[in-house]
Chains A and B, each alone.
Chain A
């Protein structure tokens, strides 16, 4: 069955440190890939997406992600974390059986120490 795995449930980093959030997927073909961010009590905001082409994708808020087909991964990175980046991060791929629907990872909660 199709799945999205975010191995890290919770991560804590210091402000100014670099960040990498992991996402692995299972999918027969090259998928579309999404990273969403959710601040406490808010809806989800799209950070970035991969459809095709350049495997390094730039997003909003200084985030980037790299698609690695050989590793079935789409890890999210930021070189220097800000306190406002504390949030929940979700990786998602379209459902192969119905691409109007998304399959979600369980999310990674990011805490930022001052």
Chain B
């Protein structure tokens, strides 16, 4: 089945130690998103790629970076994780169907910062 895959599902890092989360897709969608979701909250968009065009949200901290080396893969880099960065990180993809961009989500990576 076509899908969005996130690895790892659970990641533990130390305060200040860089960490990379990965996302891959077999849907061949041209848009890929990274969201941060804290407990009992809605997902918060960090940034998204439209093809190779990177779109950062205005309130995304500089601590968060992303790379998209090809259509299938997208990475989230947290340069110096703080305790406040502990959250679920969700990757999603979409492609235009008419004027609609329906988003398809991966299972998420739960990040713990010690």
Number of chain A residues whose Cβ lies closer than 8 Å to a Cβ of chain B: 23
Do residues B43 and A44 form an inter-chain contact, with CB atoms below 8 A? yes
Name the contact of B43 in the complex, choosing from A32, A41, A100, A104 (C-beta under 8 A).
A104
Chain B residues contacting A105 (CB-CB under 8 Å) are 42
Name the contact of B108 in the complex, choosing from A34, A43, A101, A107 (C-beta under 8 A).
A43
Name the contact of B42 in the complex, choosing from A34, A43, A104 (C-beta under 8 A).
A104
**Chain B residues touching A, range:** 20 to 34
B110 within 8 A of A: yes
Do residues A32 and B105 form an inter-chain contact, with CB atoms below 8 A? no
A32 to B48, CA, bound (A): 20
Chain A residues contacting B4 (CB-CB under 8 Å) are 43
Do residues B40 and A109 form an inter-chain contact, with CB atoms below 8 A? yes
A26 within 8 A of B: no
Total residue contacts A-B, CB cutoff 8 A: 55
Do residues B99 and A99 form an inter-chain contact, with CB atoms below 8 A? yes
Could you tell me the distance in whole angstroms from the C-beta of B58 to the nearest C-beta in chain A?
12
Quick one: given A100-B31, A100-B94, are A42 and B108 in contact (CB under 8 Å)?
yes
B90's nearest neighbour on chain A, judged by CB, is: A43
B104 within 8 A of A: yes
B87 within 8 A of A: no
Q: Which residues of A contact B (CB under 8 A)?
A: 32, 34, 36, 41-46, 49, 51, 88, 90, 94, 99-102, 104-107, 109
Q: Which residues of B contact A (CB under 8 A)?
A: 4, 6, 31, 40-43, 45, 48, 50, 55, 88, 90, 92, 94, 98-108, 110
If A88-B40, A90-B42, A100-B31 are given as contacts, then 19 extra A-B residue pairs at C-beta distance below 8 Å, sorted by A number, are: A32-B99, A36-B105, A41-B108, A42-B107, A43-B4, A44-B43, A44-B92, A44-B105, A49-B100, A51-B98, A94-B100, A99-B99, A100-B55, A101-B45, A102-B103, A104-B42, A105-B42, A106-B41, A107-B42
